[in-house]
Amino acid sequence: MYKITFLPDGRQVLIEEDETLLEAVHKAGLYIHSICGGEGTCGRCKLLVKKGEYKTKPTTHISQEEAEKGYVLACQTHPKSDLDVEIPLESRIEGVYAVEDIAQKSELKVYPEVCSPLSKQISLNLPPPTLQDNISDMDRMLRELRRAGYRDVKVELNVTRKLADVLRENEFQVTAMLGWEGDGFRVLKVEGDKRPNFGVAVDVGTTTLVAQLVDMSECRVLRTKATYNKQARYGEDVITRMIHAEKGGLDELHQTVVKDINDMISVLCDENGISPEDITAVVCAGNTTMTHLLLGVNPKHIRKEPYIPTFSFPSPIKAKEIGITVHEEAMLYCLPSVASFVGGDITAGVLASGMAKQEEFSMLIDMGTDGEIVFGNSEFLVCCSCSAGPAFEGGGIEFGMRASRGAIQRVEVLPDLEVKVTTVGGVKARGICGSGMIDCLAEFLRSGIINKAGKFNEGIKTDRLRKGEEGLEFVLVWADESAVDRDIVLTQPDIDNLIRSKAAVYAGAKVLLDKIGFDFESVERFYVAGGFGSYLDIGKAITIGLLPDLPKDRFEYIGNSSLAGARLCLLSEEAFREAIEIANRMTYIELSVDNTFYEQFVSELFLPHTD
């Protein structure tokens, strides 16, 4: 076995010669990008071997120059001696403070108007029994709960077994913990002390997990924590993960997401001085595949025609059934999904936007990898999914990354074709995130760097446009001003990918409307959701044809609407019922059943659109 030392972390692990450096990274508890899940095709898991001998497969993702320096793809490289390995900044999955920061600022709200959380800690002041009032202990408790508005409440056997003693030891002053079961409440615990009542809402994203701690007694948001979804080590998109699950990796994927959520809960509890035992309910919103993986249900059939998920709305369970470490009796709820590629996160978004209650026609566009679109009002709801691809989240883009520290989020092209960039955190640039990419397209188009077809204009006069390994590329940040010691460029394939993504979203929205006899003009309100939502420049998104050319005041950013919907449900069984109704009401329209979508998509491969 060989010892692998990771720099600058200094962590050391032992691996066999037939294991890859990617496996070594995982063993070391470190996180690097790996979109393809170790197939050698995405080129994101670059490492720099500083010392030692190794064997690596040839790849187009490593240039000759890089290979000479010792750059390798972790998933394609085996040790032949002890190694010292550096993890370059661009390979490393780092903090997500920006995501938290945004969630935190926008969502420290109090929701007294909806406050009827899915779990309760109800203080009961019961009259002690007498010969005249000699109903059973349980009936005495249920009578008081009925007076408080809770009817047909069930009681757990373990609560029943302890009830008589708990009541008498506490002179009939107790706290009853109630959990909602979808059609009523169940008494999950009865204790003598007053008990705090916290809940956690979780956005179970393919890329990013966000957990929010809520004080349910006051219906107040306390704090938000985010982490990259460490399932990414098994593939960055849902398809790769489905394949991994099918190959026997289901439990691994399941345990990974559960651990991520537990880690966030643990930090949230520490930072707020509470115990995980104080958390009495967890509500999760995720896409259909992520919800399957969270519950340990194999999503393999979702990717095979006719694309069937196992469930859309799982019955509430005890959180401990899947190993979530909160109160041992706490319930866990998942938002209902609509179809294989329109999940509980979208149901949550529709709920949070309020569009399902309004008379005006609204459209919700959630620009994740899948690009889900919902249209409708209080009368009807239709939805589709349009495979936008991971470009706006950084996938398939040479220097693409998520909106974390060092990501270029604003780009301005000056008249002399010089470039001014702004990064998340104001530090040296490491790569470019979705909003920066949209800026790029809009600015490149405006200043003639690219034409309407998105092709670089070779005639422009700047040394930033040059020939790279994959054709023409434009230097956004020179190596000496970057944090990665290389020129940060946007390549022609990058631009082609971005145009395909924007074309898919726009075509999806247009075809969805066409199919039901509407057009964009009839959409009175646009809700834009997604990871980069808060950075997005609507004007520039219209410029490149990602969003339709309508008055800006019809657009509204709703940020992480998946989390917002999950939180609403956590705080209100009424909201949860509404979410169930929304999922039932939403009609999924499969765009791929005829050529309409494809034809529209092709005609959208121009900026902003084909005339």
Residues making contact with a copy of itself (CB under 8 A): 129-131, 133-139, 152, 154-157, 160-161, 163-165, 168, 182-184, 186, 295-298, 300-301, 305-315, 317, 321-322, 337, 339-340, 590, 593
Distance, CA of 225 to CA of 100 (rounded, Å): 6
Which of 153/460 has CB closer to a copy of itself?
153
d(C-alpha 393, C-alpha 180), whole Å: 36
Query: What is the closest distance, in whole angstroms, from the C-beta atom of residue 281 to a copy of itself in the complex?
Result: 17
Least distance from a copy of itself to the Cβ atom of residue 158, Å: 9
CB 608 within 8 A of CB 152: no
Q: Which residues contact 314 (CB under 8 A, 6 or more apart)?
A: 291, 295, 297, 334
- My answer on whether omega of the bond before 196 falls inside 30° of 0, hence cis, is no
Cβ-based nearer residue to a copy of itself, 64 or 134 = 134
Q: Tokens 């490593």 — which residue?
A: 62
| Closest separation in Å from C-beta 187 to a copy of itself | 9
* Least distance CB 182 / a copy of itself (angstroms): 7
Nearer to a copy of itself by Cβ, of 14 and 164: the residue is: 164
Residue (93 or 167) nearer to a copy of itself, CB = 167
* Share of the chain residues as helix, strand and coil, in percent rounded to the nearest 5: 35, 25, 35
CB contact at 8 A, 544 and 441: yes
Comparing CB distances to a copy of itself, the nearer of 162 and 486 is 162
**Region class of 183: left (phi > 0), else alpha (psi between -120 and 50), else beta:** alpha
The nearest distance, CB 501 to a copy of itself, in angstroms, is 25
Cβ nearer to a copy of itself, comparing 102 with 335: 335
What torsion, rounded to 10 degrees, do the Cα atoms 581, 585, 591, 593 define? 120
d(CA 601, CA 270): 49
Q: Which is nearer to a copy of itself, 138 or 550 (CB)?
A: 138
**Min CB(152)–a copy of itself separation in Å:** 6
Least Å from the CB of residue 315 to a copy of itself: 4
Closest approach of a copy of itself to the CB of residue 433, in Å:
34
Q: CB burial class (10 A; 0-12, 13-18, 19+) of residue 94?
A: middle
| φ, ψ (nearest 5 deg) of residue 328 | -60, -20
- For residues 428 and 447, the answer to whether their CB atoms sit within 8 Å is no
Specify whether the CB–CB gap between 325 and 313 falls below 8 A. no
Give the DSSP H/E element, type plus range, for residue 271. helix 250-272
Amino acid symbol at 286: G
What is the smallest separation between the CB atom of 291 and a copy of itself, expressed in angstroms? 11
Bridge partners, 202 (sequence order): 211, 284
Give 69 or 247: the residue with its C-beta nearer to a copy of itself. Answer: 247
| Nearest approach, Cβ of residue 503 and a copy of itself (Å) | 24
Q: Considering the complex, state which of residue 314 and residue 531 has its C-beta at the smaller distance from a copy of itself.
A: 314
**What is the smallest separation between the CB atom of 157 and a copy of itself, expressed in angstroms?**
5
The first and second tokens of residue 360, run together, are 């005006």
Cα 176 to chain centroid distance, Å, stands at 34
151 versus 461: smaller Cβ distance to a copy of itself: 151
Between 129 and 354, CB nearer to a copy of itself: 129
Structure tokens at 49: 């071997």
Contact predicate 404/100, CB 8 Å: no
Of residues 97 and 307, the one with the C-beta less far from a copy of itself: 307
Distance CA 392, CA 435 (A): 8
CB of 145 to a copy of itself, least distance (A): 13
Strand ranges, E, within 172-278: 173-180, 185-191, 198-204, 208-215, 220-228
User: For residue 8, is the peptide bond before it cis, meaning its omega torsion is within 30 degrees of 0?
Assistant: yes
- Cα separation, 609 vs 545, whole angstroms: 6
Closest contact distance (angstroms) between CB of 400 and a copy of itself is: 32
Q: What does the alpha-carbon distance between residue 217 and residue 199 come to, in Å, rounded to a whole number?
A: 10
Where do we find the tokens 């408790």?
141
- Would you tell me the crossing angle of helices 288-295 and 250-272 to the nearest 10 degrees? 90
Smaller CB separation from a copy of itself, 185 or 228: 185
